[in-house]
A = this chain, B = another copy of it.
Amino acid sequence: MECGESVEQIVLRPKMTVGELVAAMGRAGAYNGGALARAADIYEAMLRDKAVTRFVGLAGAMVPAGMGRIVSDLIDAGFVDVLVSTGANLTHDIIEALGCRHYHGTASCSDVALRDAEINRIYDVFLPNESFIRFEEFMQERFGDLAPQAPLTVRKFLAEVGASLPSGILASAARNGVPVFCPALADSMAGLQYWLYTQTHRPILDAFGDMQDLLSLCFSAESAGALLVGGGVPKNYILQSMLMTPKGFDYAVQLTGDRPDLGGLSGATLDEARSWGKITASARAVTVYGDATITLPLLVAAVRERLGV
């Protein structure tokens, strides 16, 4: 056993950039601050490596928390090749793209009073019910418009939706030809809207068709890297996709608030993924435990500063 570099005490200075702060965290090098700095090193390498197909997994209520634009900006900058998201994040992305807003609220309140006021709560974010009325109109129109193209995979459907929106994750993905996968679309307000549509219309979506597209991307990738925001379906879906190929992820960064000792995949370490072959034995990988509303902006701002873009 040997010691590594010495821990350098962090020296802050006014007007220091985020990149400078994360570099200082790296020289300190301990606990999750150190892990975040290593994550920046790995994510930078992953974005600089032209041979890498870059996957992003998006779970947790990130769009309502104002993190969606970080993802759409990454897409616009060419840093995302494949996005896998929960249905909820896409639902809220569409809602914002339609001009509706999420609002600052509080977690210390009467949820019954909120219900009476027709406000939905996501921890300390408030979302008025009227957003879902606007969402319903939009989605029902989309389903109707796209029916002639049926059967549509979810990926193709989301591309069409994105193409009809002015801004947001789906819009950026559509504009840049980045595929968006949502393996559990049924488990979201978007899925409920689809169910509503099928009450009076023929089905138009094919849920399993996407697996072929994703697996093809995996087979054709020279090497692969993953930025995993939260756990859930996106994390597992991305990591398992490599199991059918002889390859594994070569770079992986995970930002999660879960813990490994509960056994669930969301909190599982990336080392565990090595035993399965989801990431390679030599992959550069790190998990940062913490709230992604803090770690995601820090990570991406630092790496974009390094890349100068």
Residue positions of A touching B, CB distance < 8 A = 1-19, 21, 24-25, 27-36, 59-61, 64-70, 73, 88, 96, 101-105, 107-117, 119-126, 128, 183-184, 186-189, 191-192, 194-196, 198, 203, 205-212, 215, 230, 232-233, 236-237, 240, 243-244, 257-268, 271-277, 281, 289-295, 297-298, 300-301, 304-305, 307-309
A-B contact pairs, 9 of them (CB 8 A): A1-B117, A3-B128, A9-B70, A9-B96, A10-B67, A31-B293, A111-B274, A188-B240, A189-B243
Docked-complex contact B293 and A7, CB < 8 angstroms: no
Docked-complex contact B215 and A208, CB < 8 angstroms: no
In the complex, which of the residues B18, B30, B211, B300 contacts A263, with contact meaning CB atoms closer than 8 Å? B30
Give bound CA distance, A262 to B296, whole Å: 13
For A209, list chain B residues within 8 Å (CB).
203
Docked-complex contact A9 and B69, CB < 8 angstroms: yes
* Minimal beta-carbon separation of A273 from chain B (angstroms): 8
Docked-complex contact B108 and A33, CB < 8 angstroms: no
For A15, list chain B residues within 8 Å (CB).
17, 19, 305
Docked-complex contact B195 and A244, CB < 8 angstroms: yes
Docked-complex contact A112 and B12, CB < 8 angstroms: no
Give bound CA distance, A19 to B12, whole Å: 12
Give bound CA distance, A108 to B184, whole Å: 33
Most chain B Cβ neighbours within 10 Å, of A18, A34, A61, A304: A18
Give bound CA distance, A244 to B124, whole Å: 24
In the complex, which of the residues B12, B233, B307 contacts A304, with contact meaning CB atoms closer than 8 Å? B12
For the complex of A and B, the 7 pairs showing the least CB-CB separation, nearest first, are A28-B66, A33-B293, A207-B207, A9-B69, A3-B103, A4-B104, A30-B65
* Minimal beta-carbon separation of A55 from chain B (angstroms): 14
Docked-complex contact A261 and B289, CB < 8 angstroms: yes
For A61, list chain B residues within 8 Å (CB).
263-265
Docked-complex contact B66 and A261, CB < 8 angstroms: no
Docked-complex contact B297 and A294, CB < 8 angstroms: no
* Minimal beta-carbon separation of A26 from chain B (angstroms): 10
Most chain B Cβ neighbours within 10 Å, of A30, A122, A207, A307: A30
Give bound CA distance, A12 to B195, whole Å: 37
In the complex, which of the residues B7, B103, B124, B128 contacts A66, with contact meaning CB atoms closer than 8 Å? B7
* Minimal beta-carbon separation of A226 from chain B (angstroms): 15
Give bound CA distance, A275 to B111, whole Å: 5
Docked-complex contact B271 and A108, CB < 8 angstroms: yes
Docked-complex contact A30 and B264, CB < 8 angstroms: no
Give bound CA distance, A212 to B7, whole Å: 35
Given known contacts A191-B211, A207-B208, is B123 in contact with A263 (CB within 8 Å)?
Answer: yes
Docked-complex contact A257 and B260, CB < 8 angstroms: no
Name the CB-closest residue of B to A309: B14
* Minimal beta-carbon separation of A111 from chain B (angstroms): 4
